[in-house]
Homo-oligomer: A and B are copies of this chain.
Amino acid sequence: MDILFTFNLSEHQQNELVEQFPACTFHFKRTASCKEAELADVIVTYGGNIDGALLERAEQLKWIMVASAGVEKMALEEIHKRGILVTNVRGIHKTPMAESILAHLLALKRSIPEIYEIQETKDWEHSFDSMELKDSTAMIIGPGAIGTEVGRLLQAFGVQTIGCNRSGKLADYMDHGIRFEQLIDELPKADFVISILPSTEETKGLLTEQHFDVMKESAIFLNFGRGDVLDEEMLIRVLQEKRIAHAVLDVFQEEPLPEESVFWSLPNCTVSPHVSSKSGKYLDRSLIIFKNNLEKYMNNEKDFENSVNLGRGY
A residues with CB within 8 A of B = 95-96, 99-100, 102-104, 106-107, 109-113, 115-116, 118-119, 122, 124-126, 128-134, 152-153, 156-158, 255-257, 259, 264, 270-273, 275-276, 278-281
Contact = CB atoms under 8 A, between A and B. Distances in A.
Nearest to A275: B128
A246 B76 CA distance: 46
Contact of A256 (B99, B125, B276): B125
Determine the main DSSP class of A at the interface with B.
Answer: loop
Given A96-B110, A110-B276, A131-B279, 16 more contacts: A99-B106, A99-B110, A103-B107, A106-B106, A106-B107, A107-B107, A111-B275, A115-B272, A115-B273, A116-B116, A116-B270, A130-B279, A132-B279, A152-B156, A153-B157, A156-B156
In the complex, which of the residues A103, A259, A264 has the most CB atoms of chain B within 10 Å of its own CB atom?
Answer: A103
A111 B259 CA distance: 21
A113 B116 contact: yes
A115 B270 contact: yes
Contacts of A104: 112
Nearest to A125: B256
A113 to B, nearest CB: 6
A254 to B, nearest CB: 10
Contact of A110 (B103, B116, B270, B273): B103
A270 B112 CA distance: 10
Contact of A102 (B106, B278, B279): B106
Q: Quickly give the copy total for this chain.
A: 2
Given A124-B257, A130-B280, A273 B118 contact: yes
A259 B281 CA distance: 40
Nearest to A129: B280
B115 A110 contact: no
B112 A103 contact: yes
5 contacts: A99-B109, A102-B106, A103-B103, A115-B272, A130-B279
A294 B139 CA distance: 40
Nearest to A271: B119
A257 B119 CA distance: 11
A134 B275 contact: no
B95 A128 contact: no
A118 B278 CA distance: 16
A276 B106 CA distance: 12
B264 A119 contact: yes
